[in-house]
Amino acid sequence: MADTTPVTRDSLLRMKAEGEKIAVVTSYDASFTALLEAAGVDVLLVGDSLGMVVQGHDSTLPVTLEQMIYHSACVARASTRALRVVDLPFMTYASTEQALDSAARMLREGGAHMVKLEGGALLCATVEALTQRGIPVCGHLGLTPQSVHQFGGYRLQGRDEAAARQLLDDAIALEQAGASLLVLECVPAALAKQISESLGVPVIGIGAGIDCDGQVLVLYDLLGITPGKRPRFSHNFLESGRDIPAALRAYVEAVRTGRFPGPEHTLA
C-alpha cells in the first residue's frame, strides 16, 4: 500500500539524513497532480516555468502573482500527500514588505506549503522575515530563470573559482537566514556536491549532477512534450514507458535508486 503520510519539511530533513533521495516534479493543474501523487512524488513544485510550457512565453518573466495563485490552488485541490512549493514570480518580492504580502496570498489563496525565491545573500533579510512569520522558504541558486537577461541566456553557472565560492556562500547564507530547502540549477556537479554536503537542509538539483539530495524536472520535459529543443539534463521517461502513470513512476524510481541523473544528463 502506498504511503499516504503527508510530506513535511521535517520529512525532507529526515530523508536527507538517511540518504533517501527526494523526487520533485513541477505541476500546474489538478489532473496531473493526481497522477504525480499516485506515483509517489515527494514535492510538487508549482513553477513559474508554466509561463513557458503552458502559456507559450519565451521566459518566465511575464507570469503574474495572480496566475501563480490560480495554478497553485488547482494543484492544492488534488494534492493530499506531497509538499507543495510555489514560485513567487518576477518582481513580486522586490522588497521584504512585498514578499510578505505575496507569500501570504500564496499560502492563503493558493494553498502553498512553501514559497520559492530566486537569489542569494541579497534575499537573506527577506527569507528571515518570511520564516519568522511562519512562511517556509525554498531558495533557488545557479541558473535563476528570472535573471535570464542578466545572465545573457540559459547558461551553466559557477564555472570559475570565484563564482563557485559565491554560490557556496549564498547557499550557506540562505540556510542561516532560515531557508528550509534549496534548488540548484545548472551548476557543475562537483560544486553541487560540495554545497549539498555543506548544508543541513535538502538540496534539490536540476542539471546539477547526482550528488544532490533530490532531483526536480519540469513535468513536460519528463514526458517529452516540451516544444523545441529538450534540455540536456532532462530525460523523456514516457519514451520507454507504457503510459503517463508508468512514466511518472519510472522517474520516481530512477531518482530513488540513483539512476537519474546519469552522466549524459550532467552538464559538468
> What's the mean pLDDT in 162-175?
96
Whether residue 154 is predicted with pLDDT greater than 60 in this model: the reply is no
Average per-residue pLDDT for the chain: 94
Ranges 28-37, 148-157, 250-259: which has the least confidence: 148-157
More confident: 263 or 56: 56
Cell of 115: 514559497
- Rounded to a whole number of angstroms, the distance between the first and last alpha carbons of the chain is 39
Q: CA 181 → CA 22, 119, 143, 148, 224, distances in Å? A: 11, 13, 16, 22, 27
Q: Which residues does 44 contact at the CB level (< 8 Å), separation at least 6?
A: 24, 25, 26, 27, 33, 36, 37, 75, 79, 82, 83, 84, 85
The 10s digit of each residue's pLDDT in 179-203 is 999 999 999 999 999 999 999 999 9
Is 185 annotated in the active site?
A: yes
Q: Looking at domain 9-265, which of 3.20.20.60, 3.40.50.620, 3.40.50.300, 3.20.20.140 is its CATH number? A: 3.20.20.60
Q: How confident is the model at residue 263 (pLDDT cuts 50, 70, 90)?
A: confident
- Of residues 185, 197, 239, 264, which has the active-site annotation? 185
Say if residue 219's pLDDT is above 50: yes
Q: What is the pLDDT of residue 51?
A: 97
Per residue in 170-181, pLDDT (tens digit) is: 999 999 999 999
Bridge partners for 216 per DSSP: 24
Calculate mean pLDDT across residues 225-234.
86
